[in-house]
Structure 1
Amino acid sequence: MKNNTLKTAAFSILALLFVTINAKAQTEKELENSIIDSLYIQETENKNKRAKVLHAEPLYIDLIRDLGARKGEREWNVGLGLTDKNNYDEYQALIEYEWAPIDRLGLEVELPFTLYPSATNATTPGSKLNGLKLATQYSFFVSEKLKTSMAIGYIHEFGLTSFNNYGNDKLFTGNTYNPIFIVAKRWGNNFHTLLYTGPVIEHHFEENSTHTSWEINSNFHYMIPGTKNFIGIEFNKEIQTKDFDMTIRPQMRVAVAENLLVGIVTGIPVSRENERFSSFLRLIYEPKY
């Protein structure tokens, strides 16, 4: 009886010791992550420079430059995507370069491609460089106290004809005008929300007509403690006359090196009248400045 009591007591002490050590380790890990998060935020919001708030940037409809951008910042992006368009597969590719020539002003040049390598019928569009896209964005409100930033911007795209029409048709097919408004807020150290919205006006030269739609992109992200990685979701909504489309895009970003990030996105359309599931991969490289 006495031996059983001693064994039970010893087991209880060992269990209590294990729980205490494990709890201490978890507390130390949480403290370490909290310190890393704080340092990451402090690095971004450097008090010796002009005010800037750390925000998570969506991966599919991304920003022209960080909100509150500082002079000298720059970034390269390469994107690859695949969309099931019911009757055929559509491949997307893009190359972007963005930079900040002065504080709070971002500029971007993008070359977006759409490719149809497995085209089998006459209804499949022709592969093409969609156009030359030029964009600018200015952060007019940055509050570290409120952890909030606001910006206005403008995107202009010169539309191009498909590759198989080069030399047989006009090279430029139209213009797309897209003024935008962005507001973002960070809640604590790890939760991020962002709204990106504006009209998209397409002017087609051949028909001499315009078509207007409205984009409303709302975003929610959670930054993984102790890392630059995040998980999140985009709600990409498009409103036209008597029509509403929304694609839900779960996503994650992973840092593979100090200045190299990989973003993975899945697209789930609410209505499948035009397309089914899609996927998108974004490589992000930020040179030191």
Structure 2
Amino acid sequence: MTNNTLKTAFFSLLALLLIIFNTNAQTERESKKATLDSLYIQEVENKHELVKVLHAEPLYIDLIRDLGARKGEREWNVGLGLTDNNTYDEYLALVEYEWAPIDRLGLEVELPFTFYPSANSTNVPSSKLNGLKLATQYSFFVSEKLKTSMAIGYIHEFELTAFNNYNSSKLFTGNIYNPFFVVAKRWGNNFHTLLYTGPAIQHHFDDHQSTTTSWQINSNFHYMIPGTRNFIGLEFNKEVTSNDFEMTIRPQMRVEVTDHLLVGIVTGIPISRENERFSSFLRLIYEPKH
């Protein structure tokens, strides 16, 4: 008998043993699965008199606060990203703090940065603090029966000039006005869908006081691992203007490190962006006790 035959027999036996073991353990896992799911959902939804439905929150274009937020909830986020453009690399960083001062209402403050290592090269933008973002979100519909939540919100960003222009030009270069609508539904215990959409109106402080408008349509699908806060999913970020359409698909996963710390990992795959290639993004999420 040749070595290849022995290897084949060995791996076949190993596969058979794994199948037998998996079959014996499957019944026990299935019986625990429903219990774990129901216990975690009850922990989120029923630990408070105020109704709240558990939804998976996207990692790249995230929400201001959980849908159906309860007073006292708060969260710190730190994000780091890299985008491979055709002629230069773009590094992203953000720090944000979100909290719920009253039931159903979320507030957020965010500082987003963009860095360009090759900023001195031709046609490469300059590094800057993009702006100061202030946001609010109110959940006006929460239904346990339908496993559905809806919210409206508004983001206002004060745009800032590049770091190297602080001494020679205006500090503020414009405003971005971004009202939005969110609807989310959980299907069963583990499947989640969410739609986040609204216009982004950019007002430039130039000689003409010009404005540009784009529509953001972000659709999401996630599967939450039974009995945990971990999930895998897809985020479809679409931007529509009067003469253009761009979309990036972002496969992602979230992993619980401790009771208060989660890590989100995102990959960006552009579908119709002419100047952008693959990108990656990492989000650290810290939720203090409340």
* TM-score, normalised by the number of residues in structure 2: 0.91
Q: Judging changes above 3 Å, is the alpha-carbon distance between structure 1 residues 78 and 131 closer, same or farther for their aligned structure 2 residues?
A: same
2:250 matched residue in structure 1 = 249
Q: What aligned pairs does 1:46-125 form with structure 2 within 5 A after superposition? A: 46=46, 48-125=48-125
Secondary structure of 1:155's counterpart equals: strand
Q: What aligned pairs does 1:136-155 form with structure 2 within 5 A after superposition? A: 136-155=136-155
Secondary structure of 1:276's counterpart equals: strand
**1:199–1:215 contact (8 Å) kept in structure 2:** yes
Equivalent-residue separation in structure 2 for 1:74 and 1:242 (angstroms): 40
Secondary structure of 1:52's counterpart equals: coil
**2:219–2:237 contact (8 Å) kept in structure 1:** yes
Q: How much does 1:22 deviate?
A: 4.8
Q: How much does 1:168 deviate?
A: 0.8
Equivalent-residue separation in structure 1 for 2:143 and 2:274 (angstroms): 42
2:158 matched residue in structure 1 = 158
Q: How much does 1:35 deviate?
A: 1.4
Q: Judging changes above 3 Å, is the alpha-carbon distance between structure 1 residues 87 and 225 closer, same or farther for their aligned structure 2 residues?
A: same
* TM-score, normalised by the number of residues in structure 1: 0.91
1:135 matched residue in structure 2 = 135
**Letter aligned with residue 135 of structure 1:** A
After superposition, what is the alpha-carbon deviation per residue over 1:69-97, rounded to whole angstroms, capped at 9, x for unaligned?
00000000000000012110000000010
**2:68–2:104 contact (8 Å) kept in structure 1:** yes
List alignment gaps of at least 5 residues for structure 1: 1-14
Q: How much does 1:120 deviate?
A: 4.3
Q: What aligned pairs does 1:232-247 form with structure 2 within 5 A after superposition? A: 232-247=233-248
Runs of 4+ in structure 1 off by over 6 angstroms are none
**1:97–1:109 contact (8 Å) kept in structure 2:** yes
After superposition, what is the alpha-carbon deviation per residue over 1:147-168, rounded to whole angstroms, capped at 9, x for unaligned?
0000000000000000000111
Q: How much does 1:33 deviate?
A: 2.7
Q: Judging changes above 3 Å, is the alpha-carbon distance between structure 1 residues 121 and 100 closer, same or farther for their aligned structure 2 residues?
A: same
After superposition, what is the alpha-carbon deviation per residue over 1:212-241, rounded to whole angstroms, capped at 9, x for unaligned?
000000000000123211000011000001
Q: How much does 1:248 deviate?
A: 0.5
Secondary structure of 1:135's counterpart equals: strand
The alignment status of 1:284 with 2:285, answered yes or no, reads yes
2:275 matched residue in structure 1 = 274
Equivalent-residue separation in structure 1 for 2:121 and 2:244 (angstroms): 28
Secondary structure of 1:257's counterpart equals: coil
Secondary structure of 1:90's counterpart equals: strand
**Letter aligned with residue 119 of structure 1:** A
Q: Mean alpha-carbon deviation: is it higher for 235-244 or for 30-39?
A: 30-39
Secondary structure of 1:277's counterpart equals: strand
Q: How much does 1:38 deviate?
A: 1.0
Q: Mean alpha-carbon deviation: is it higher for 136-145 or for 23-32?
A: 23-32
Q: How much does 1:118 deviate?
A: 2.7
Secondary structure of 2:167's counterpart equals: coil
**Letter aligned with residue 84 of structure 2:** D
Larger Rg computed on CA atoms: 1
Secondary structure of 1:168's counterpart equals: coil
Q: How much does 1:106 deviate?
A: 0.1
Secondary structure of 2:277's counterpart equals: coil
**1:136–1:154 contact (8 Å) kept in structure 2:** yes
Secondary structure of 1:79's counterpart equals: strand
**2:269–2:278 contact (8 Å) kept in structure 1:** yes
RMSD between superposed Cα atoms in Å: 1.6
Q: How much does 1:47 deviate?
A: 5.5
**2:245–2:272 contact (8 Å) kept in structure 1:** no
1:5 matched residue in structure 2 = none
What is the aligned length?
273
Equivalent-residue separation in structure 2 for 1:107 and 1:48 (angstroms): 21
Equivalent-residue separation in structure 1 for 2:183 and 2:199 (angstroms): 16
**Letter aligned with residue 169 of structure 2:** D
After superposition, what is the alpha-carbon deviation per residue over 1:175-229, rounded to whole angstroms, capped at 9, x for unaligned?
0000000000000000000000000000000141000000000000000123211
The alignment status of 1:191 with 2:197, answered yes or no, reads no
Q: How much does 1:49 deviate?
A: 1.9
Q: How much does 1:123 deviate?
A: 1.1
**1:32–1:226 contact (8 Å) kept in structure 2:** no
**2:141–2:150 contact (8 Å) kept in structure 1:** yes
1:43 matched residue in structure 2 = 43
Equivalent-residue separation in structure 2 for 1:252 and 1:179 (angstroms): 27
Q: How much does 1:23 deviate?
A: 3.8
List alignment gaps of at least 5 residues for structure 2: 1-15
